[in-house]
Amino acid sequence: MILIKSDDEIELIRNSNLLLGKLHGELAKHLKPGIKTIELDKLAYEFIMDHGGKPSFLNYRGYPNTLCISVNDVVIHGIPGDYVIKEGDLVSIDCGIILEGYHSDSAFSYAVGEVSPQVWELMKRTKEALYKGIEQAKPGNRVGDIGYAIEHYVTQFGFSVVREMTGHGVGRYLHEDPAIPNYGRRGQGKRLKAGMTIAIEPMITMGSHKIYIEKDGWTVRTVDGKPAAHYEHSIAITKKGPEILSTFKYIYQAINENPNISSP
Ligand code: MF3
Ligand code: CO
Protein backbone atom coordinates (compact mmCIF):
# COMPACT_ATOMS: atom_id res chain seq x y z
CA MET A 1 0.00 0.00 0.00
CA ILE A 2 1.30 3.43 -0.95
CA LEU A 3 1.19 5.85 1.99
CA ILE A 4 0.29 9.42 1.01
CA LYS A 5 1.77 12.03 3.36
CA SER A 6 0.28 15.29 4.57
CA ASP A 7 2.26 18.52 4.31
CA ASP A 8 3.03 18.21 8.04
CA GLU A 9 4.42 14.74 7.54
CA ILE A 10 6.51 15.90 4.59
CA GLU A 11 7.90 18.62 6.86
CA LEU A 12 8.98 15.94 9.35
CA ILE A 13 10.58 13.86 6.59
CA ARG A 14 12.38 17.03 5.42
CA ASN A 15 13.65 17.65 8.96
CA SER A 16 14.93 14.10 9.24
CA ASN A 17 16.69 14.48 5.87
CA LEU A 18 18.24 17.78 6.93
CA LEU A 19 19.85 16.08 9.93
CA LEU A 20 20.95 13.26 7.63
CA GLY A 21 22.49 15.80 5.25
CA LYS A 22 24.51 17.27 8.13
CA LEU A 23 25.65 13.79 9.13
CA HIS A 24 26.80 13.07 5.57
CA GLY A 25 28.81 16.30 5.78
CA GLU A 26 30.45 15.17 9.04
CA LEU A 27 31.32 11.81 7.49
CA ALA A 28 32.80 13.54 4.46
CA LYS A 29 35.06 15.57 6.79
CA HIS A 30 36.45 12.34 8.24
CA LEU A 31 36.69 10.24 5.09
CA LYS A 32 40.36 9.80 4.18
CA PRO A 33 42.98 7.10 3.60
CA GLY A 34 43.74 5.26 6.84
CA ILE A 35 40.31 5.46 8.46
CA LYS A 36 38.49 2.19 9.20
CA THR A 37 34.92 1.95 7.98
CA ILE A 38 33.79 0.98 11.50
CA GLU A 39 35.17 4.30 12.78
CA LEU A 40 32.88 6.19 10.38
CA ASP A 41 30.00 4.01 11.54
CA LYS A 42 30.67 4.82 15.19
CA LEU A 43 30.81 8.52 14.41
CA ALA A 44 27.47 8.29 12.60
CA TYR A 45 25.82 6.40 15.45
CA GLU A 46 26.96 8.97 17.99
CA PHE A 47 25.97 11.92 15.81
CA ILE A 48 22.47 10.54 15.33
CA MET A 49 21.95 9.73 19.01
CA ASP A 50 23.32 13.14 20.06
CA HIS A 51 20.72 14.82 17.83
CA GLY A 52 17.73 12.92 19.15
CA GLY A 53 17.39 10.49 16.25
CA LYS A 54 17.80 6.77 15.73
CA PRO A 55 19.65 5.00 12.93
CA SER A 56 17.09 3.61 10.45
CA PHE A 57 19.31 0.79 9.21
CA LEU A 58 20.52 -0.58 12.57
CA ASN A 59 18.62 -3.83 13.29
CA TYR A 60 16.50 -3.38 10.16
CA ARG A 61 15.96 -7.03 9.16
CA GLY A 62 18.98 -7.76 11.33
CA TYR A 63 21.32 -5.25 9.66
CA PRO A 64 24.16 -4.80 12.17
CA ASN A 65 25.22 -1.14 11.70
CA THR A 66 24.26 2.51 11.24
CA LEU A 67 25.87 2.98 7.82
CA CYS A 68 26.28 0.96 4.68
CA ILE A 69 29.80 1.62 3.33
CA SER A 70 30.35 0.07 -0.07
CA VAL A 71 33.86 0.18 -1.53
CA ASN A 72 34.79 -0.40 -5.21
CA ASP A 73 33.06 -3.60 -6.42
CA VAL A 74 30.67 -3.54 -3.46
CA VAL A 75 27.47 -2.10 -4.90
CA ILE A 76 25.49 -1.53 -1.70
CA HIS A 77 25.00 -2.82 1.85
CA GLY A 78 28.71 -2.99 2.68
CA ILE A 79 28.98 -3.68 6.42
CA PRO A 80 31.39 -1.37 8.27
CA GLY A 81 34.33 -3.21 9.84
CA ASP A 82 38.11 -3.31 9.94
CA TYR A 83 38.54 -2.38 6.27
CA VAL A 84 40.95 0.56 6.00
CA ILE A 85 40.07 3.15 3.35
CA LYS A 86 42.88 3.65 0.87
CA GLU A 87 43.88 6.03 -1.89
CA GLY A 88 42.02 5.19 -5.11
CA ASP A 89 38.91 3.74 -3.45
CA LEU A 90 35.42 4.50 -4.68
CA VAL A 91 33.45 4.74 -1.43
CA SER A 92 29.66 4.93 -1.22
CA ILE A 93 28.12 5.88 2.10
CA ASP A 94 24.42 5.22 2.64
CA CYS A 95 22.49 6.20 5.77
CA GLY A 96 18.98 6.70 7.11
CA ILE A 97 17.71 8.37 10.28
CA ILE A 98 14.44 8.17 12.19
CA LEU A 99 13.68 11.61 13.63
CA GLU A 100 10.36 12.30 15.34
CA GLY A 101 9.04 9.09 13.88
CA TYR A 102 10.00 9.80 10.26
CA HIS A 103 12.68 8.20 8.11
CA SER A 104 15.21 9.85 5.84
CA ASP A 105 17.45 7.97 3.39
CA SER A 106 20.30 9.15 1.19
CA ALA A 107 23.61 7.97 -0.22
CA PHE A 108 26.68 9.51 -1.86
CA SER A 109 29.73 8.11 -3.66
CA TYR A 110 33.21 9.57 -3.13
CA ALA A 111 36.54 9.21 -4.86
CA VAL A 112 39.30 8.90 -2.27
CA GLY A 113 42.42 10.45 -3.77
CA GLU A 114 42.84 9.79 -7.47
CA VAL A 115 40.55 7.34 -9.25
CA SER A 116 40.74 6.27 -12.89
CA PRO A 117 38.93 8.38 -15.51
CA GLN A 118 36.48 5.47 -16.02
CA VAL A 119 35.58 5.40 -12.33
CA TRP A 120 35.12 9.16 -12.35
CA GLU A 121 32.83 8.84 -15.37
CA LEU A 122 30.83 6.11 -13.63
CA MET A 123 30.32 8.34 -10.60
CA LYS A 124 29.41 11.35 -12.72
CA ARG A 125 26.87 9.50 -14.84
CA THR A 126 25.33 7.77 -11.82
CA LYS A 127 24.81 11.10 -10.07
CA GLU A 128 23.41 12.65 -13.24
CA ALA A 129 21.09 9.67 -13.62
CA LEU A 130 19.74 10.30 -10.13
CA TYR A 131 18.65 13.79 -11.22
CA LYS A 132 17.23 12.44 -14.51
CA GLY A 133 15.10 10.10 -12.42
CA ILE A 134 14.06 12.87 -10.03
CA GLU A 135 12.89 15.04 -12.96
CA GLN A 136 10.32 12.39 -13.79
CA ALA A 137 8.91 12.24 -10.24
CA LYS A 138 5.83 14.35 -10.80
CA PRO A 139 2.09 13.74 -10.52
CA GLY A 140 0.64 11.92 -13.50
CA ASN A 141 3.88 10.22 -14.45
CA ARG A 142 4.45 6.58 -13.61
CA VAL A 143 7.13 4.66 -11.76
CA GLY A 144 8.40 3.32 -15.09
CA ASP A 145 9.15 6.87 -16.26
CA ILE A 146 11.71 7.23 -13.46
CA GLY A 147 13.37 3.88 -14.18
CA TYR A 148 13.37 4.47 -17.91
CA ALA A 149 15.06 7.86 -17.51
CA ILE A 150 17.82 6.39 -15.33
CA GLU A 151 18.44 3.32 -17.46
CA HIS A 152 18.27 5.19 -20.75
CA TYR A 153 20.79 7.72 -19.46
CA VAL A 154 23.48 5.41 -18.05
CA THR A 155 23.35 2.74 -20.75
CA GLN A 156 24.37 5.39 -23.33
CA PHE A 157 27.75 5.44 -21.64
CA GLY A 158 28.07 1.66 -21.53
CA PHE A 159 27.17 1.33 -17.85
CA SER A 160 24.69 -1.16 -16.40
CA VAL A 161 21.76 -0.99 -14.01
CA VAL A 162 21.56 -3.37 -11.06
CA ARG A 163 18.15 -5.00 -11.25
CA GLU A 164 17.70 -6.87 -7.99
CA MET A 165 17.66 -3.79 -5.74
CA THR A 166 15.46 -0.72 -6.15
CA GLY A 167 14.47 2.62 -4.69
CA HIS A 168 11.33 2.68 -2.58
CA GLY A 169 8.70 4.69 -0.79
CA VAL A 170 10.11 6.20 2.41
CA GLY A 171 8.85 8.18 5.39
CA ARG A 172 6.71 6.41 7.94
CA TYR A 173 8.83 3.33 7.30
CA LEU A 174 12.29 2.96 5.79
CA HIS A 175 10.92 0.89 2.93
CA GLU A 176 7.40 1.52 1.72
CA ASP A 177 5.58 0.84 -1.51
CA PRO A 178 6.10 1.41 -4.33
CA ALA A 179 9.42 -0.12 -5.37
CA ILE A 180 11.28 2.30 -7.66
CA PRO A 181 13.41 0.25 -10.08
CA ASN A 182 16.27 1.95 -11.90
CA TYR A 183 15.00 0.49 -15.16
CA GLY A 184 11.58 0.45 -16.71
CA ARG A 185 9.28 1.41 -19.51
CA ARG A 186 7.78 4.81 -20.09
CA GLY A 187 4.16 5.07 -19.04
CA GLN A 188 4.26 1.77 -17.14
CA GLY A 189 3.90 0.99 -13.44
CA LYS A 190 2.14 2.74 -10.58
CA ARG A 191 0.95 6.27 -11.15
CA LEU A 192 2.78 8.96 -9.14
CA LYS A 193 0.67 11.23 -6.95
CA ALA A 194 1.23 14.37 -4.90
CA GLY A 195 1.99 13.39 -1.30
CA MET A 196 4.08 10.36 -2.19
CA THR A 197 7.58 10.37 -0.71
CA ILE A 198 10.14 8.13 -2.37
CA ALA A 199 13.84 7.34 -2.34
CA ILE A 200 15.43 7.23 -5.79
CA GLU A 201 18.75 5.40 -5.74
CA PRO A 202 20.52 4.38 -8.93
CA MET A 203 23.02 1.55 -8.36
CA ILE A 204 25.14 1.55 -11.51
CA THR A 205 27.97 -0.76 -12.50
CA MET A 206 30.89 -0.22 -14.85
CA GLY A 207 30.68 -3.72 -16.32
CA SER A 208 27.98 -6.37 -16.19
CA HIS A 209 24.85 -5.73 -14.10
CA LYS A 210 25.26 -9.12 -12.42
CA ILE A 211 25.64 -9.12 -8.66
CA TYR A 212 25.84 -11.63 -5.84
CA ILE A 213 25.28 -11.41 -2.09
CA GLU A 214 28.14 -12.44 0.15
CA LYS A 215 27.86 -15.07 2.89
CA ASP A 216 27.27 -12.31 5.45
CA GLY A 217 23.78 -12.01 3.92
CA TRP A 218 24.22 -8.31 3.07
CA THR A 219 27.27 -7.27 1.06
CA VAL A 220 26.25 -6.90 -2.59
CA ARG A 221 29.16 -7.27 -5.03
CA THR A 222 29.50 -7.25 -8.80
CA VAL A 223 30.21 -10.70 -10.22
CA ASP A 224 32.88 -9.33 -12.59
CA GLY A 225 34.63 -7.40 -9.81
CA LYS A 226 34.19 -4.08 -11.58
CA PRO A 227 33.20 -1.00 -9.56
CA ALA A 228 29.73 0.35 -8.86
CA ALA A 229 28.43 3.76 -7.80
CA HIS A 230 25.36 4.70 -5.77
CA TYR A 231 23.68 8.04 -5.10
CA GLU A 232 20.33 8.44 -3.37
CA HIS A 233 17.93 11.24 -2.53
CA SER A 234 14.64 11.17 -0.64
CA ILE A 235 12.08 13.24 -2.50
CA ALA A 236 8.47 14.35 -2.21
CA ILE A 237 6.13 14.41 -5.17
CA THR A 238 4.19 17.66 -5.00
CA LYS A 239 1.61 19.36 -7.21
CA LYS A 240 4.47 21.52 -8.50
CA GLY A 241 6.75 18.56 -9.22
CA PRO A 242 9.59 16.84 -7.38
CA GLU A 243 10.96 18.33 -4.17
CA ILE A 244 14.33 16.96 -3.04
CA LEU A 245 14.07 16.49 0.74
CA SER A 246 17.58 15.20 1.36
CA THR A 247 20.61 17.38 0.71
CA PHE A 248 24.20 17.02 -0.50
CA LYS A 249 24.97 20.64 0.48
CA TYR A 250 26.99 19.72 3.56
CA ILE A 251 28.83 17.05 1.59
CA TYR A 252 29.96 19.61 -1.00
CA GLN A 253 31.13 21.97 1.76
CA ALA A 254 33.14 19.15 3.33
CA ILE A 255 34.61 18.06 -0.02
CA ASN A 256 35.84 21.60 -0.63
CA GLU A 257 37.70 21.50 2.67
CA ASN A 258 38.90 17.90 2.54
CA PRO A 259 41.74 17.44 0.02
CA ASN A 260 41.49 13.63 0.34
CA ILE A 261 38.12 13.25 -1.34
CA SER A 262 36.17 14.40 -4.38
CA SER A 263 33.08 13.67 -6.39
CA PRO A 264 31.96 14.75 -9.86
N1 MF3 B 1 19.39 2.88 1.22
C2 MF3 B 1 19.36 1.44 1.29
C3 MF3 B 1 17.99 1.01 0.98
O4 MF3 B 1 17.16 1.82 0.92
C5 MF3 B 1 19.83 1.00 2.60
C6 MF3 B 1 19.11 -0.05 3.34
S7 MF3 B 1 20.25 -0.85 4.27
C8 MF3 B 1 19.45 -1.72 5.42
O9 MF3 B 1 17.71 -0.13 0.70
F10 MF3 B 1 20.31 -2.21 6.18
F11 MF3 B 1 18.68 -0.97 6.10
F12 MF3 B 1 18.73 -2.64 4.83
CO1 CO C 1 17.09 3.61 0.15
Tens place of pLDDT for every residue, the chain, 264 residues?
Answer: 999 999 999 999 999 999 999 999 999 999 999 999 999 999 999 999 999 999 999 999 999 999 999 999 999 999 999 999 999 999 999 999 999 999 999 999 999 999 999 999 999 999 999 999 999 999 999 999 999 999 999 999 999 999 999 999 999 999 999 999 999 999 999 999 999 999 999 999 999 999 999 999 999 999 999 999 999 999 999 999 999 999 999 999 999 999 999 999
The CA dihedral of 90, 247, 249, 150, to the nearest 10 degrees, is: 50
Q: Is there an atom of ligand 1 within 6 Å of 111 CB?
A: no
Residue 40: what pLDDT?
A: 99
Residue 215: what pLDDT?
A: 98
> Measured from the CA of 107, which atom of ligand 1 is nearest?
1
CA of 108 to the centre of ligand 1 (A): 13
CA of 60 to the centre of ligand 2 (A): 12
Residue 10: what pLDDT?
A: 98
What is the SS3 assignment for the chain? CECCCCHHHHHHHHHHHHHHHHHHHHHHHHCCCCCEHHHHHHHHHHHHHHCCCEECCCCHHHCCCCEEEEECCEEECCCCCCCECCCCCEEEEEEEEEECCEEEEEEEEEEECCCCHHHHHHHHHHHHHHHHHHHCCCCCCEHHHHHHHHHHHHHCCCCEECCCCCEEECCCCCCEEEEECCCCCCCCCCECCCCCEEEECCEEECCCCCEEECCCCCCEEECCCCCEEECEEEEEEECCEEEECCCCHHHHHHHHHCCCEECC
Residue 142: what pLDDT?
A: 98
Q: Is there an atom of ligand 1 within 6 Å of 233 CB?
A: no
Q: Is there an atom of ligand 1 within 6 Å of 57 CB?
A: yes
What are the chain's domains? 7-262 (3.90.230.10)
